[in-house]
Amino acid sequence: YLYQGGKIRIDVDEPRISTPEISQEIASVKVDTKIRYDEKTRKTIILKTEIIDPDGNVAAGESSRMTLFGQSETMQTQRIYVREPALWSVDNPKLYQCKVTVYDGETLLDTAQSTFGIRRLELDPVNGLRLNGEKILLRGGCIHHDNGPVGAATFGRAEERRIQLLKEAGFNSVRIAH
């Protein structure tokens, strides 16, 4: 892909999302967004972040003022709290969307969106791997990196189909061999 952006833009592969604190009542979603700025003067912008629940409703959001200095990269961290989160699990993969927009006053400069699940992973020698507090046994396999007759190119639907077939066969983890 070739990305084209303005003088103020969200960096490629942003935002970075993590869920450091989770309970049944509330989840803390940490959103790190890097903004690139190519001009030489100082500029103040608004970074607006929305968390959209699996049903398409805005579950939470936050706006932050950012001061950008000439020809720089600036990281902004936002903590957004989602009430009564729908937790992601292997059998029930509830997914949220994080939509980040950058404004100069009322003018939209850039937007980025990312999909994520709210879940807690824990690993220790006594309990092994736990997902949302439940012990999970990995049932995995090693598969080749290509999609058979389709070849080594990655196509979204081919990857989805491969995962669907593996889940139907009872797998819940995969190692890709290159």
Question: What is the tens place of the pLDDT at every residue in 8-50?
Answer: 999 998 999 999 999 999 999 999 999 999 999 999 999 999 9
pLDDT tens sequence across 127-149: 999 999 999 998 888 887 777 77
Token pair 């389709």: residue:
150
Q: What is the pTM of this model?
A: 0.84
- Read off the tokens for 32: 């790190």
| pLDDT tens digits, one per residue of 73-86 | 999 999 999 999 99
How far are the Cα atoms of 34, 94, 174 from residue 168, in angstroms, in the given order?
Answer: 39, 18, 13
Q: How many CB atoms lie within 10 A of CB 106?
A: 6
CA torsion 125→170→167→139, rounded to 10°? 20
CA angle 148, 149, 150 (to 5 degrees): 90
Calculate the alpha carbon distances from 100 to 12, 33, 53, 67, 152 in Å.
Answer: 13, 8, 15, 17, 32
